[in-house]
């Protein structure tokens, strides 16, 4: 079976920046493929090109067998795209939004009603069909976006950070629907900046400045991070990093919003040592604990040369 999505040296340049740089990957039917990367990595730009709303400057891509440059409309008939920013009509109700996208794709009334009922049930949104989309919570909005995207049974769905800012319950619904689609032979391509979400994908591509660093399973990706991540929350982040950056067993030190993330070889052994070192240096901190690695940690580990302990 040919891949549902295939890109080859896909490139997009904006003035002063190459947002997507010679990207090559494939997504197969029944697969959830994640585009993972920090802000500005080129995730949205890639998805926009595949959705046919942005023209590539180089390379090529096919979506559901249709070349996005030569026959974009054929591709559009077979895909669904959920933009990063909510793209539905806030002044229409849940049911009206669904009806609109169903009509646009020529879905018959019976099919629409059956499909909508099933999807709304799965999303836990059946009681809200007459509510304005604008009055839904963030999680509900995203689930409605998914329902509208799926109403016409596309072959490929492109989701741009679909669970950003979504509550845990809605997120669980969201993923349950996504998994249920895989039996239908749909290919799912989504971007995310959460590592726990990337872990639910079958394969992920790690993007950095438009380039693909790795394309592999989440397990393989995580394995690139040797050791564990210790988070130190405190005001004196820079001084903490300076003091601990070279300490024994610290492989990497990264400044984050509220403090420092250290990659250490063995969390259980190093945490007491780090606490002691900070005390000796007279540096105060609010919290010091082992955490689940974030995309940034992985990313830093993957891009910087590892230092010997």
Interaction site with Mg ion (CB under 5 A): 43-44, 84
Q: CB 93 → another protein: shortest distance, Å?
A: 9
165 binds ligand ATP, rule: CB under 6 A: no
Q: 37 is in the binding site of which of Mg ion, another protein, ligand ATP, none (Cβ under 5 to 8 A by kind)?
A: ligand ATP
Which one among 56, 83, 139, 293 touches another protein, defined by CB under 8 A?
83
Site for ligand ATP in 12-31 (CB under 6 A): 14, 17, 19
Within 10 Å of residue 258's Cβ, how many Cβ atoms?
Answer: 13
Interface stretch with another protein, choices 95-103, 176-184, 248-256, 297-305 (CB under 8 A) = 95-103
Task: Report the residue number, 79 or 147, with the smaller CB distance to another protein.
Answer: 79
CB-based contacts of 260: which residues, under 8 Å, 6+ apart?
Answer: 231, 232, 234, 237, 240, 241, 244, 253, 254
79 binds another protein, rule: CB under 8 A: yes
Give 34's strand partners.
190, 204
Structure tokens at 119: 């999807």
| Helix segments in 6-67, DSSP class H | 43-51
190 binds another protein, rule: CB under 8 A: no
CB 275 within 8 Å of CB 282: no
Give 20's strand partners.
12
Q: CB 132 → another protein: shortest distance, Å?
A: 9
Question: What's the chain's length in residues?
Answer: 309
214 binds another protein, rule: CB under 8 A: no
For residues 75 and 241, what is the distance between their CA atoms, to the nearest angstrom?
A: 49
Residues forming the site for another protein (CB under 8 A): 48, 51-55, 72-73, 76-77, 79-83, 85-92, 96, 99-101, 103-106
């Amino acid at each position: 079976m040919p891949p549902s999505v295939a890109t080859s040296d896909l490139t997009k340049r904006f003035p002063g920046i190459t947002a997507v740089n010679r990207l090559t990957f494939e997504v197969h039917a029944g697969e959830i493929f994640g585009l993972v990367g920090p802000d500005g990595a080129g995730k949205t730009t890639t998805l926009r090109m595949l959705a046919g709303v942005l023209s590539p400057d180089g390379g090529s891509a096919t979506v559901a067998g249709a070349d996005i440059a030569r026959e974009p409309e054929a591709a559009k008939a077979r895909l669904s795209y959920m933009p990063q920013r909510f793209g539905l009509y806030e002044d229409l109700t849940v049911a009206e939004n669904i009806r609109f996208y169903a009509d646009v794709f020529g879905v018959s009334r019976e099919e629409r009603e059956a499909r909508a009922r099933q999807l709304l049930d799965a999303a836990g949104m059946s009681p809200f069909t007459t509510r304005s989309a604008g009055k839904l919570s963030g999680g509900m909005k995203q689930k409605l976006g998914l329902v509208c995207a799926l109403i016409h049974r596309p072959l490929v769905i492109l989701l741009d950070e679909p669970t950003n800012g979504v509550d845990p319950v809605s997120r669980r619904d969201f993923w349950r629907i996504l998994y249920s689609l895989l039996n239908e032979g749909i290919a799912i391509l989504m971007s995310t900046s959460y590592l726990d979400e990337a872990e639910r994908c079958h394969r992920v591509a790690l993007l950095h400045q438009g380039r693909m660093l790795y394309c592999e399973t989440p397990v393989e990706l995580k394995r690139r991070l040797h050791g564990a991540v210790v988070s130190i929350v405190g005001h004196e982040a820079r001084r903490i990093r300076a003091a601990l950056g070279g300490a024994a067993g610290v492989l990497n030190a990264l400044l984050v919003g509220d403090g420092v993330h250290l990659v250490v070889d063995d969390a259980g052994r190093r945490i007491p040592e780090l606490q002691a070192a900070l005390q000796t240096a007279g540096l105060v901190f609010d919290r010091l604990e082992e955490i689940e690695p974030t995309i940034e940690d992985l990313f830093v580990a993957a891009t910087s040369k590892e230092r010997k302990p």
